[in-house]
Amino acid sequence: MDTKNATLLSMFVLTGLPYQLEWQIPLFLLFLVIYLIATVGNLGLIYLIYNDPHLHIPMYLFLGSLAFVDSWISSTVTPKMLVNFFARSKMISLSECMLQFLSFAFGGTTECFLLATMAYDRYVAICKPLLYPVIMTNKLCIQLLVSSFVAGLIHPMIHVGALFRLTFCKSNIIHHFYCDIMPLLRISCIDPSINVLMVFISSGSIQVLSIMTVLVSYTLVLLTILKNKSVQGIRKAFSTCGAHLLSVSLYYGPLLFMYVRPGSTQADDQDMMDSLFYTVIIPLLNPIIYSLRNKKVIDSLTKVLKRNV
Strands (DSSP E) contained in 209-277 are none
Sign of dihedral through CA atoms 234, 240, 244, 249?
A: positive
The confidence score (pLDDT) of residue 257 equals 60
Q: What angle do CA 179, 289, 83 make, to 5 degrees?
A: 30
Mode of pairing for the β-strands spanning 173-174 and 11-14: parallel
pLDDT in the model for residue 258:
59
The dotted CATH code for 3-308 is: 1.20.1070.10
Residues facing residue 13 across a β-bridge: 91, 173
Measured distance CA(226)–CA(92) in Å, rounded: 54
Non-local (6+) Cβ contacts of 285 within 8 A are: 247, 250
Q: Looking at residue 259, what is its pLDDT? A: 55
CB 214 within 8 A of CB 256: no
Please state the separation of Cα 225 from the chain's center in Å. 29
Nearest to 291 by CA among 304, 300, 281, 282: 300
The Cα–Cα gap between 71 and 88 comes to 27
In the prediction, which pLDDT does 90 show?
85
Could you tell me the sign of the dihedral formed by the alpha carbons of 211, 71, 67, 158, in that order?
positive
Per-residue pLDDT of the chain (309 residues; tens, 9 = 90+): 444 444 456 788 888 888 888 888 999 999 999 999 999 999 999 999 998 888 888 989 999 999 999 999 999 999 999 999 988 888 888 889 999 999 999 999 999 999 999 999 989 988 898 999 999 998 999 999 999 999 999 999 999 999 888 888 778 888 888 998 888 888 888 888 999 999 889 988 998 899 899 889 988 888 887 777 666 666 666 666 777 777 777 777 666 665 555 444 344 667 787 788 888 888 998 888 877 767 788 888 888 777 766
The whole-number pLDDT of residue 3 equals 47
List of E strands, 39-144: 91-93
Beta-carbon count within 10 A of 155 CB: 21
